[in-house]
């Protein structure tokens, strides 16, 4: 009986070896476990031929995708760019395990390794369509080489058209890449859970929902204002929430928003130095505003730089003035950080993620 079992097991092993020997490289890869994508926040890998990267197309990619994140005292790139050729990917397998890729191909160049890669990934029918349809320039794939991965393909027939498409498609592609990192940002921000006590207080005071991480505490509270803070030895993160009556649409003008935050800064935000207070600094960098939606509510976003009068401190802020139409109220929420000598982009991304959770309470629109 034991001999029969050994014989059967031996046959299974022989059959398995025969099957694996007959597999193509692609089939073997499918049998291998898929790794989880890795990489730092807002990292973007560019896959292109070297001549494209070192020419006008590479300059355009760097100009747009490597442009400054708005608005920081010291410029930091919107995306941290890394460039690989298809040969670089073949030489080191871990280069295929990053979270976000932008593949750039001139499909008129039939000798291009990147064109060959795009043709293999998308199929020859799509490449034929791209050569005939002047409006077809992008495609997207997910989890091709690793889990939680996005790959955006940008292609055109000829370098001139490809350069134009980099400019034209930048906003949509940037949004896709930013969305790819939302889960990573959320996992970092809420790794300790939520502060339900503060969230309930916000709901009671302001009639809205805001997901506050567990490590924030209340610094100041009165009937119209909450100042929340999270601090460690390097970075102090702040969220200020305030409500006031809605009187006219003029309250959404840039100068009115600056005046509002300066009033709040003088009333609530100071350091240990007597007489110090926070104000907007529109001189070194302009205040940028735009209309947005927060949940279902109309709002105006403002970004700029703050400074401390009477002390040598400053940093970036992002704020939203939100209309609670039902109550004829305005809700002002602002996030600002103090991080002397530290990189600030990622910290602002974390704070923006918190503010993006804003919703008016059910029945309040």
Which tens digits make up the pLDDT trace of 94-124? 999 999 999 999 999 989 999 999 999 999 9
Could you tell me if residue 18 is inside a domain?
no
Could you tell me if residue 257 is inside a domain?
yes
CATH at 44 = 3.40.50
Q: Are residues 34 and 117 in the same domain?
A: yes
Q: Are residues 205 and 122 in the same domain?
A: no
Could you tell me if residue 262 is inside a domain?
yes
Q: Are residues 176 and 83 in the same domain?
A: yes
Could you tell me if residue 141 is inside a domain?
yes
Q: Are residues 149 and 97 in the same domain?
A: yes
pTM across the whole model: 0.87
User: Which residue stretches of the chain have pLDDT < 50?
Assistant: 2, 5, 7-9, 12-13, 16, 20, 365
Q: Are residues 114 and 237 in the same domain?
A: no
Q: Are residues 337 and 212 in the same domain?
A: yes
Q: Are residues 234 and 311 in the same domain?
A: yes
pLDDT digits (tens, 9 = 90+) for 163-205: 999 999 999 999 999 999 999 999 999 999 999 999 999 999 9
Q: Are residues 97 and 36 in the same domain?
A: yes
Could you tell me if residue 304 is inside a domain?
yes
HEC-encoded secondary structure of the chain: CHHHHHHHHHHHHHHHHHHHHHCCHHHHHHHCCCCECECCCCEEEEECCHHHHCCHHHHHHHHHHCCECCCCCCCCECCEEEEECHHHHHHCHHHHCECEEEEEEECCCCCCHHHHHHHHHHCHHHHHHHHHCCCCCEEEEECCCCECCEEEEEEECCHHHHHHHHHHHHHHHHHHHHHHCHHHHHHHHCCCCECHHHHHHHHHHHCEECCCECCCEEEEECCCEEEEEEECCCCEEEEEEEEEECCCHHHHCHHHHHHHHHHHHHHHCCCCCCCCEEEECCCCCCCEEEEEEECCEEEEEEEEEEEEECCCCEEEEEEEEEEECCCCEEEEEEEEEECCCCCCHHHHHHHHHHHCCCEECCCCC
Could you tell me if residue 173 is inside a domain?
yes
Q: Are residues 204 and 352 in the same domain?
A: yes
User: How many distinct structural domains can be found in the chain?
Assistant: 2
Could you tell me if residue 290 is inside a domain?
yes
CATH at 309 = 3.40.1000.10
Q: Are residues 228 and 338 in the same domain?
A: yes
Among residues 180, 207, 223, the one where a domain terminates is 180
Quote the domain boundaries for residue 163.
Answer: 23-180
Could you tell me if residue 42 is inside a domain?
yes
Q: Are residues 200 and 174 in the same domain?
A: no
């Amino acid at each position: 009986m034991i001999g029969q079992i050994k014989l059967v097991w031996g046959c299974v092993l022989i059959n398995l070896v025969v099957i694996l020997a007959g597999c193509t490289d692609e089939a073997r890869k499918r049998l291998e476990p898929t790794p989880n994508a890795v990489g730092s926040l807002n990292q973007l890998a560019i896959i292109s031929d070297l001549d494209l990267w070192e020419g006008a197309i590479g300059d355009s990619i760097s100009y747009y995708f490597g442009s400054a994140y708005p608005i920081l005292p010291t410029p930091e790139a919107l995306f941290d760019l890394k460039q690989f050729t298809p040969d670089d990917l073949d030489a080191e397998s871990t280069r295929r395990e990053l979270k976000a890729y932008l593949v750039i191909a001139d499909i008129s160049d039939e000798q291009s390794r990147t064109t060959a890669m795009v043709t293999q990934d998308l199929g020859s029918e799509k490449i034929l369509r791209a050569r005939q349809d002047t409006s077809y320039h992008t495609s997207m794939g997910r989890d091709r080489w690793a889990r939680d991965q996005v790959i955006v393909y940008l292609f055109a027939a000829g370098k001139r058209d490809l350069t134009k498409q980099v400019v034209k498609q930048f906003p949509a592609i940037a949004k896709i890449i930013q969305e790819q990192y939302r889960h990573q940002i959320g996992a970092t921000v809420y790794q300790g859970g939520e502060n339900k006590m503060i969230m309930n207080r916000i709901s009671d005071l302001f009639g809205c929902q805001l997901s506050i991480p567990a490590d924030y505490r209340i610094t100041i509270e009165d009937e119209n204002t909450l100042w929340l803070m999270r601090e460690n030895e390097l970075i102090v993160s702040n969220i200020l929430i305030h409500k006031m009556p809605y009187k006219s649409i003029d309250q959404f003008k840039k100068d009115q928003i600056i005046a509002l935050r300066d009033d709040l800064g003088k009333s609530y935000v100071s350091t240990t130095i007597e007489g110090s207070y926070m104000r907007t600094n529109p001189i070194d960098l302009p205040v940028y505003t735009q209309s947005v939606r927060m949940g279902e509510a109309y709002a105006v976003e403002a970004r700029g730089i703050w400074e401390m009068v009477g002390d040598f401190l400053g940093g970036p802020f992002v704020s939203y003035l939100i209309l609670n139409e039902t109550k004829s109220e305005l809700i002002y929420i602002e996030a600002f950080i103090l991080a002397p000598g530290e990189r600030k982009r990622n910290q602002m991304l974390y704070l923006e993620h918190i503010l993006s959770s804003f919703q008016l309470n059910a029945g309040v629109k």
